[in-house]
Structure 1
Amino acid sequence: MSKLIDIPVKVEVYDTLSEWEVNTGEHGKILPKRMKGRFRTLKNFGMAIWLIYFIGPYLRWNGKQAVLFDIPNQQFHLFGLSLFPQDIWVLSLTLLFFAILLAAATSVAGRVFCGYFCFQTVWTEVFTIIEGKFEGNTPQKRAKFQAAPWTIKKVSNKVAKHSIWLVIAMLTGITFSAWFTDSFQLWADIFSLTAPLPVWIVMGTFTFFTYWFAGFMREQVCFWLCPYARLQGVMYDQETVLPAYDAERGEPRGKLSRQESKNQGACIDCKLCVAVCPTGIDIRKGQQEGCITCGLCIDACDSVMDKIEQPRGLIRYASYKELYKGIPTVPLIKRPRVIVYSLIMLLSVIGVIYGFSTFSPTEFSVIHERKPLFIRMSNGDIQNKYTLKLLNKTDSSLEIRYQISGLEAAFIDGLDKTYIVEPGKIVPVTALVRLPMNQQGKETLHDIRFTATSVNTNDISDSYDAVFITP
Structure 2
Amino acid sequence: MAENKHHEIESLYNDSQHWHVNAGDETIHAKRMAGRFRNYKWYASTLYLLLFILPYFRWEGSQAILFDIPHRQFHFWALTIWPQDIWMLALVLILLAITLFAVTAIAGRIWCGYFCFQTIWVDWFTWIEDKIEGNPIQRRKLDSAPWAGKKIRLKLLKHSLWILISILTGVTFVAYFTDVYGLWYSYLTMDAPLTAWVVLGTLFLFTYVFAGFMREQVCFWLCPYARIQSVMVDKDTEMPTYDILRGEPRGKLRGKDSNERGDCIDCRLCVGVCPTGVDIREGMSEGCITCGMCIDACDSIMDKVDRPRGLIRYASRKEMDGKPLPPLFKRPRVVTYAIILLLSMLGIIYGLTHIPPVELSVVHERQPLFIQMRDGNIKNKYTIKAVNKTPTDLHMRISIETVQGISIATDKDKTAVLKSGKIIPFNVFLIARPEALKEKQTPVRFILESIESPTIRIEYESVFIRGR
Normalized against structure 1, the TM-score is what? 0.91
SS at match of 2:424: coil
Letter in structure 1 aligned against 2:187:
I
SS at match of 1:256: coil
The equivalent residue for 2:243 is 246
Q: In the TM superposition, what are the counterparts of 1:313-392 in structure 2 within 5 Å?
A: 313-323=310-320, 325-392=321-388
The 5-angstrom pairing of residues 7-406 of structure 1 reads: 23-26=22-25, 28-136=26-134, 138-148=135-145, 150-257=147-254, 260-323=257-320, 325-406=321-402
Query: Cα distance 1:78–1:257, how it changes in 2: closer, same or farther (>3 A)?
Result: same
Following superposition, the deviation at residue 379 of structure 1 comes to: 1.9
CA shift at 1:400, angstroms?
A: 2.2
**Which secondary structure does the structure 2 equivalent of 1:327 belong to?**
coil
Contact map agreement 2:22 2:28 (CA 8 A) in 1: no
Corresponding position of 1:455:
451
Report if aligned partners of 1:116, 1:294 keep a CA contact under 8 Å in 2: yes
Give distance in 2, aligned partners of 1:450 and 1:332.
51
Equivalent position amino acid for 1:272 in 2: L
Q: What is the aligned-residue RMSD (CA, Å)?
A: 1.8
1:274 offset after TM fit, Å? 1.1
Residue identity opposite 2:217 in structure 1: Q
| Separation in 1, partners of 2:250, 2:148 | 44
In the TM superposition, residue 221 of structure 1 has moved relative to its aligned partner by: 0.7
Identity, in percent, stands at: 53
Would you say the 8 A contact 1:259–1:265 is kept in 2? no
Q: Note if contact 1:389-1:427 (Cα within 8 Å) is conserved in structure 2.
A: yes
Which deviates more from structure 2 when the two are superposed, residues 123-132 or residues 104-113? 104-113
Counterpart of 1:467?
A: 463
Residue deviations 1:148-182, cap 9 Å, x none? Answer: 45443332221111110001001111111001111
Secondary structure of 1:329's partner? coil
Q: Distance in 1 between matches of 2:431 and 2:137?
A: 90
Q: Post-superposition shift, 1:285? A: 1.0
In the alignment, residue 393 of structure 2 is paired with which amino acid?
S
Instruction: State the AA in 2 paired with 1:104.
Output: A
Output one character per residue of 1:124-168: Cα deviation in whole Å (capped at 9) or x when no partner: 0100011111111x2221133334454433322211111100010
Structure 1 segments unaligned to the other structure (5+ residues): 1-20
AA aligned to 2:249 is P
Query: What do the CA deviations read for 1:228-278 (whole angstroms, capped 9, x no partner)?
Result: 222223322121111111111111112334574221211111211111111
Residue 417 of structure 1, CA deviation: 4.1
CA deviations 1:174-231 (Å, max 9, x no partner) are 1110011111111111111111101000111111111111111100011111122222
Amino acid paired to 1:466: S
- TM-score for both structures, normalised by structure 2: 0.91
What CA deviation, in whole Å up to 9, does each residue of 1:84-113 have, x standing for no partner? 211100111011100110111111111111
Query: SS at the partner of 2:391?
Result: coil
Contact 1:24 1:220 in 2 (8 A): no
How far is 1:405 from its partner? 1.7
Residues in 1 aligned to 2:169 and 2:309: alpha-carbon distance in whole angstroms: 40
Aligned-pair CA distance for 1:79: 1.3
Give SS of 1:451's match: strand
